[in-house]
Amino acid sequence: MINLTIDGQQISVPEGTTILEAARSMHLDIPTLCYLNLEKIKYLNQVASCRICVVEVEGRRNLAPSCATPVAEGMKVVTNSKRVLSSRRKNLELIISNHPFDCLVCAKSTDCELQRLVWEFGINTQRYDGERSEHAIDRSSSALKRDPNKCIMCRRCETMCNEVQTVGALTAFGRGFNTIVAPAEKEPIVNSNCVFCGQCVSVCPTAALTGIGYIQEVWAALFNPKKTVIVQVAPAVRVAVGEEFGMAAGEAVTGKLVAGLRRLGFNAIFDTTFGADLTVVEESKEIIERIEKNENLPILTSCCPGWINFLEHSFPNLKYMPSTCKSPQQMTGAIIKTYYAEKMGIDPKDIVVVSVMPCIAKKYEAALPNEETYGIRDVDYVLTTREVAKMLKEGSVDLRHIQEEEFDNPLGQSTGAGVIFGGTGGVLEAALRTVYEKATGKTLEDVNFTAVRGLNGMRIAEVDLDGRLVRVAAVAGLGNARKVLEKIESGEEKFDIIEIMACPGGCVNGGGQPYAEEREEIIEQRLSGLYQLDRNTKIRKSHLNPAIQALYQEYLGEAGSHKAHEILHVTDLFSAAVKQK
Amino acid sequence: MPEIRSQQQLTDAYEQYKGLLSLRLGKAVDDKTRLVLVCGGTGCQASDSQKIVEKFQKLIIDNGLQDQLQAEIAGCFGFCEKGPIVKIFPEDVFYVQVKPEDVQEIFDQHLVGGQKVKRLLYEDPALKVKIDTSDEISFYKLQHRVALRNCGLINPEKIEEYIATGGYQSLGKILNQMTPEQVIDEMKKSGLRGRGGAGFSTGKKWEFARGYANDEKFVICNADEGDPGAFMDRSIMEGDSHSVIEGMCIAGFAIGAHQGYVYIRAEYPLAVKRLQIALDQARERGLLGKNILGSEFSFDIAIRLGAGAFVCGEETALIHSLQGMRGEPTTKPPFPAQSGLWGKPTIVNNVETLANVPVIFERGADWYSSIGTKTSKGTKVFALAGKINNVGLVEVPMGTTLREIIYDIGGGIKGGGEFKSAQTGGPSGGCIPKQYLDTPIDYESLASIGSMMGSGGMIIMSDHDCMVNIARFYMEFIVEESCGRCVPCRIGNKRMLEILTNITEGKGTETDLLELRSLAETIMDTSLCGLGQTAPNPVLSTLKYFMDEYEAHVIEKRCPAGVCQKLMRYEILPEKCIGCTACARGCPVGCISGAVKQVHVIDQSKCIKCGACITRCKFGAVVRI
Amino acid sequence: MTDTSKDSLCGEEHNPQFAELDRFIDELHIDPKDPRRKDKLIMTLHKAQGIFGYLPEVLQIHIAKKFSVPHSEISGVISFYNFFTTTPKGKIQVNVCLGTACYVNGSDKLLQEFEQVLGIKAGEVTKDGKFSIESLRCVGACGLAPVVTINHKVYGKVKAGDVREILEKYMVEEDVENKEAADA
């Protein structure tokens, strides 16, 4: 243990602790900006570049960056002397001297870590009127917006992309004043190997990286009398959107959200969880077929577009492995524009499907050329959780006090299996519940597969399908996906089913969710919320969803039928838009 | 060439080769045998010194005089102002500014005829007298060449000549008779401090690295010499690579490393070439690589090129560049001695530091520490440049005063101006004004007057230089070379540059001067690496010693030195103008009016102060005030 | 803004320049699993630029594949160092040293003169691709200040008045080839 003094108070901490960590353990909140430590997902950005967290250390000539300086025996630290505060402030003034001053119209206003610091420091002038970097804003993709003028070189996105996700789409580019983090050769992001997982958006402290917004397009549709505008809501959204209204993370506000959306004027509010159940039924058929034939194993889940994009770029040899199923978002949209449209006698061309998603990759997915049915787009616009919260506020909805309402039917009913799709391991668990019963013909007594739950990068289990042992895994985070796929490619490991999610923790930690920043407990609370919903739902197996059963009876026939394939599967999972690099 | 597999064989080789240098050490054989040494440094090569030596060699062969005459290339003689330099031995005659056309005359008259070619001898500017030999030249008299001991003496492309000076004997002695701890003790006793600029005790650095147990350690030679105006390391690499190689081997032995790297600027192709030749020859002779001199110690060295980034002279940035990354520094601690290249214990030493190592073991730490001052032992190589008559490389004992360097060695101010300041330490250093001319040069005394030793670049400025503009020039360099990682350096230095530029353009205010100090404080206190931490030094030192110039710029909008273009007024003297219209025709904004043969007038409101008119006027009618 | 994606580099398969580069890289025996493999990157970039004259995207991607690193990493490294360029330079590269010793001896005026005579600014290439101007920071020939290098030939103690004369020698095509042969 090392003994040191911070602001006159003594403390003992283990060797290797940084001054910042030591201070935090004493509830000394040294301001930080570039530093970000997400222990549970093994992410650490410790570049010491902003120089905001500097402190005075007795005997040291200059100020020390507390986030990157390990404690030493007998160290005497001062965190708020005049010398420290004046340099801290100066550095912040320098940062904003090279930052656009359009806070009023910036998407991150009130959610921006830089704005918050400037406000906390009481800075109320622009001291410098010098050169400002000028970079082109990149709106080349349908999912990710880059504004390099707002980049403060914190390197968080680069660390996330290179070290956690192992995608490597971003690099610091240039040298000196105009250095920014950008794709190779500062090309538009759509030309790079970015997979749009959105994890960089989650960690970006400013609006340098955000999602492409569609709020105005959705309002336009809502006010267009010729259109029937239908919205679907993903599982992970319902346990997070309340946070934007000051409610607790993980609190399921499903009914309130439905009511609020109805207030905004959507013609029907459907549940993506219904689509999740549908995905389970279709995918289970595929899974069982492959296991019985012992061919093309492992089968990989395909509902995460960020992950599938990653596979296309990094493991083109394994393109045969994912299921051919569309994702719940796409299936729901497809069913709306076929089954529901027919049922209600609406021309699908007049239907606008909006989905509310916890991520930005879904924006990319919805725009892919092959995500359509009979020539009509399955999903027209994707809003993130953050965007829908803004729309609700704009539409006079107070989510805290609004009376709960129910989803519309027939795409409003769902099971506990469907709702856990929102967390890592959920898709796998939901699939197993159905696969077990369909493969063995027996009833599954205990529906809980707890072995595949949790924030570990990878969780493995073995399931006994009446004698046939099936080896399954749930993986979250693309770095973990890379590791397991390398082992599969080399033959070192064998699996039957693998669920892969691009985001550590799964969709609850998606790039479109309310910013959790360093509060990792929020992710855990959202996950708990989902499992709680699962427990409280009467029907917990997807194939027992009466609305799903009706859909097959009335329309699709049976799982894997020709019609099901036309509407709910993609013949070529891989987008023509992927640039070969 | 046979391998040298023991200290005895090395001694034998020394005996075999030492004759090669006897002419150069003044031992005449007879009155016919002569050796021609031509300076082969980059500066002289640019002035055709390679052609000169080749011409000599051809003449010698054509005349069948190989038995008594020899022509060789050598490292930099140091007196760059007078290059190309040719020395004839055994007389040690010193010819300056030799051209290829002069070779025939020297050959006929001196090499064969035994008579000096008087017109090519160096002439003392003050005494107006021709001087024969270099040790009578004031430029050399006060010098004490230790790191540069072999530069200009040996042909750097022939390892035999290095061995002939006693080279590799120190390594041999160490491998056979000393332990790493003893080596480190001797280094500490010598008092050698890092010559790259920081001045950290070399012995202590080696001791730290030795203390961190690891199966793998590294020795890195920092040959990235990025300070503009510094060419000490280049000259050592071009003139005596073996001294650096030997120094690295000794360092490797001391800390327990088996692999070394020389990180050298890509802008030094000749140095790279000479180093490669030296490495190949050393390996061939068993003086580098596996089981050096037949001992248990193996150590090899690889060259790694830089690619044009001043910040890569900072040791952590250098290490990252070596690892194939952007050359961005990272926080210290941990220091490279603990965790450096690939996370292993690493020492990064400057070229000049390493060049001193073999001679310290040859002559002893006591000898070395007897030179210099109490805290700064040994000698220092300076690259003297700027407004000085004798531009070149000088090596003096620590404690020599600036006055001695500038006037006794440097020959005083060029261009008839008056001394104003000496800048040491490059963009990290400060300007030393007249009142400190008698400061003895050592690490502490320079720091106490707001400058630093730096790597050795010493730029002399006269009253024709504007100190505000000099500060701006250095800040411009910093802004270009800043890696961009940390806020205070990336943005802070830019803002300082903007203020300085405004001041030189007449847009500065007194508040600007306060802001400069405030920015300087934050930048020095919070920058991540040495580049940023020292960037404000030139500004602060000029503010301290030349405040009158700053005040003239911001209050009177006047540049006393007459340098800052935008503060000058261009006017046409009616009494001298003949109306030739040359100025009007060359004016880019057409602000000069006047008919042919009529007096011309400049419209001050339109004038952009570019100076084109004054260049074009052949009658001295345009003046700048 | 030069569009480097549609370069006039031949396809990689039959191009002798790529073959030469690949020979060099293969000699380095890069092991994709070796975490230290990038220490040969900068020397490879020097070699590649020596062969091709510049480092366009298609070349960067080729090198990235050889080193088993993402393209973005190569791009980021290239963008950091002065030496490397992603756009072609002129056939005749004029480098004016702006190091302190040269600056104090008027090299900034030299640079202005070169810019005026050639009609381009530092960092640019003339329309016919013949000349480009760069400013350098210290080649270490301070004894010859101010220094200008033109395609590696060093000119010392250059005065603004000499600029036209020096350039005239390079303006004529044949002279360039002869000059380079003589200096080799």
B467-554 matches B159-369 in CATH topology: no
- What is the pLDDT, as a whole number, of residue C3? 41
With both helix axes pointing from N to C terminus, report the angle between B351-363 and B169-177 in degrees, rounded to the nearest 10: 70
Residues of B in contact with C147 (CB under 8 A): 46
Which chains, if any, share at least 3 CB pairs under 8 A with chain C? Answer: A, B
- What is the pLDDT, as a whole number, of residue C160? 83
The C-alpha angle with vertex A466 and arms to A465 and A469, in degrees rounded to 5, equals: 45
User: pLDDT confidence of C9, banded at 50, 70, 90?
Assistant: low
Q: What is the mean pLDDT of residues A172-182?
A: 97
B 91-120 near C (Cβ less than 8 A): none
The pairing of strands B122-124 and B93-95 is unpaired
Instruction: Give C155-159's long-range contacts (Cβ < 8 A, gap of 24+).
Output: C155/B46, C156/B43, C156/B46, C156/B47, C158/C110, C159/C110
CB contact under 8 Å between C75 and A168, yes or no, is no
pLDDT tens figures, B196-243: 998 999 999 999 999 999 999 999 999 999 998 899 999 999 999 999
- What is the pLDDT, as a whole number, of residue B31? 81
User: pLDDT confidence of B141, banded at 50, 70, 90?
Assistant: confident
The residue of chain C with its CA nearest to that of B471 is C100
pLDDT at position A439 over 50: yes
Q: Name the percent of chain A lying above pLDDT 90.
A: 96
Using a CB–CB cut-off of 8 Å, the residues of A that contact C are: 162, 167-175, 183-185, 187, 192-193, 581
* Mutation for testing the A interface, residue in B501, B516, B521, B525 having most A CBs under 10 Å: B525
CA distance A358 to A361: 9
Count of pairs with CB atoms under 8 A, one residue in B, one in C: 141
Residues of A in contact with C61 (CB under 8 A): 581
User: pLDDT confidence of C156, banded at 50, 70, 90?
Assistant: confident
Q: Is A144 within 8 Å of A201 (Cβ atoms)?
A: yes
Q: Is C154 within 8 Å of B41 (Cβ atoms)?
A: no
pLDDT at position A184 over 60: yes
pLDDT at position C180 over 80: no
- What is the pLDDT, as a whole number, of residue C175? 52
* Domain limits, chain B: 27-91+93-132, 159-369, 379-462, 467-554, 569-624
Given the candidates 3.65.10.10, 3.30.70.20, 3.40.190.290, 3.30.1330.10, the CATH classification of the domain at B569-624 is 3.30.70.20
B224 close to C (CB below 8 A): no
Q: What is the mean pLDDT of residues B612-619?
A: 85
Residue A348's SS3 state is: helix
CA distance B391 to B415: 13
Give residues with Cβ within 8 angstroms of B262, minimum separation 6.
Answer: B220, B221, B223, B244, B248, B275, B301, B302, B303, B304
- What is the pLDDT, as a whole number, of residue A480? 97
pLDDT tens figures, B468-487: 999 999 999 999 999 999 99
- Closest residue to B487, CB basis, from A50, A62, A172: A50
Which domains are present in chain A? 2-97 (3.10.20.740), 125-211 (3.30.70.20), 216-568 (3.40.50.1780)
pLDDT at position C174 over 90: no
CB contact under 8 Å between C77 and B325, yes or no, is yes
Q: Which fold has domain B159-369?
A: Rossmann fold (3.40.50)
CA distance A154 to A45: 8
pLDDT at position A172 over 90: yes
CB contact under 8 Å between A176 and B481, yes or no, is yes
- What is the pLDDT, as a whole number, of residue C179? 54
Q: In the numeric block, which tokens belong to residue A506?
A: 């799964």
CB contact under 8 Å between B307 and C42, yes or no, is yes
C58 close to B (CB below 8 A): no
Query: Of A380-384, B367-371, C65-69, C151-155, where does mean pLDDT reach its minimum?
Result: C151-155
Q: What is the mean pLDDT of residues A491-520?
A: 96
Q: What is the mean pLDDT of residues B10-34?
A: 89
C 120-149 near B (Cβ less than 8 A): 136-145, 147
B161 phi and psi angles, rounded to 5 deg: -70, -35
- What is the pLDDT, as a whole number, of residue A581? 33
CB contact under 8 Å between C75 and A184, yes or no, is yes
Which chains, if any, share at least 3 CB pairs under 8 A with chain B? Answer: A, C
Instruction: Give the DSSP letter of residue A223.
Output: T
- Residue among A128, A140, A495 nearest A321 (CA): A495
pLDDT higher at C7 or B81: B81
- What is the pLDDT, as a whole number, of residue C155? 87
pLDDT at position C10 over 70: no
Query: Of A247-261, B178-192, B379-393, C131-145, where does mean pLDDT reach its minimum?
Result: C131-145
CB contact under 8 Å between C155 and B229, yes or no, is no
- What is the pLDDT, as a whole number, of residue C183? 53
Mean predicted lDDT score pLDDT of chain B: 93
Residue bearing tokens 């580019």: A173
- What is the pLDDT, as a whole number, of residue C6? 41
Given the candidates 3.30.300.10, 3.30.930.10, 1.20.1440.230, 3.90.78.10, the CATH classification of the domain at B467-554 is 1.20.1440.230
Q: Is domain B27-91+93-132 in CATH 3.40.30.10, yes or no?
A: yes
pLDDT at position B439 over 60: yes
A461's torsion region: left (phi>0), alpha (psi -120 to 50) or beta?
A: beta
B 27-66 near C (Cβ less than 8 A): 42-43, 45-47
User: pLDDT confidence of A578, banded at 50, 70, 90?
Assistant: very low
- What is the pLDDT, as a whole number, of residue B140? 86
The C-alpha angle with vertex A289 and arms to A286 and A291, in degrees rounded to 5, equals: 105
A277 CB neighbour count, 10 Å cutoff: 33
- What is the pLDDT, as a whole number, of residue B551? 97
Give residues with Cβ within 8 angstroms of B286, minimum separation 6.
Answer: B3, B4, B5, B292, B293, B294
Residues of B in contact with C152 (CB under 8 A): 269
Q: How far is residue C103 from each of residues A181, B383, B461, C138, measured CA to CA in Å?
A: 34, 15, 11, 10
Which parts of B455-575 fold into alpha helices (H)? Answer: 467-481, 487, 493-504, 510-526, 530-534, 537-545, 547-551
Residues of B in contact with C137 (CB under 8 A): 226, 228, 310, 477, 480-481
pLDDT at position A404 over 60: yes
- What is the pLDDT, as a whole number, of residue A574? 60
Q: What is the mean pLDDT of residues C67-84?
A: 97
pLDDT at position C5 over 50: no
User: pLDDT confidence of B605, banded at 50, 70, 90?
Assistant: confident
B416 close to A (CB below 8 A): no
- What is the pLDDT, as a whole number, of residue A573? 62
Bridge partners for A299 per DSSP? A497
Evaluate the omega torsion of the peptide bond into residue B329 and state whether it is cis, within 30 degrees of 0: no
Residue A389's SS3 state is: helix
User: pLDDT confidence of A576, banded at 50, 70, 90?
Assistant: very low
CB contact under 8 Å between C73 and A192, yes or no, is no
Q: Which fold has domain B379-462?
A: Ubiquitin-like (UB roll) (3.10.20)
- Closest residue to A581, CB basis, from C61, C69, C76: C61
Q: What is the mean pLDDT of residues A541-553?
A: 96
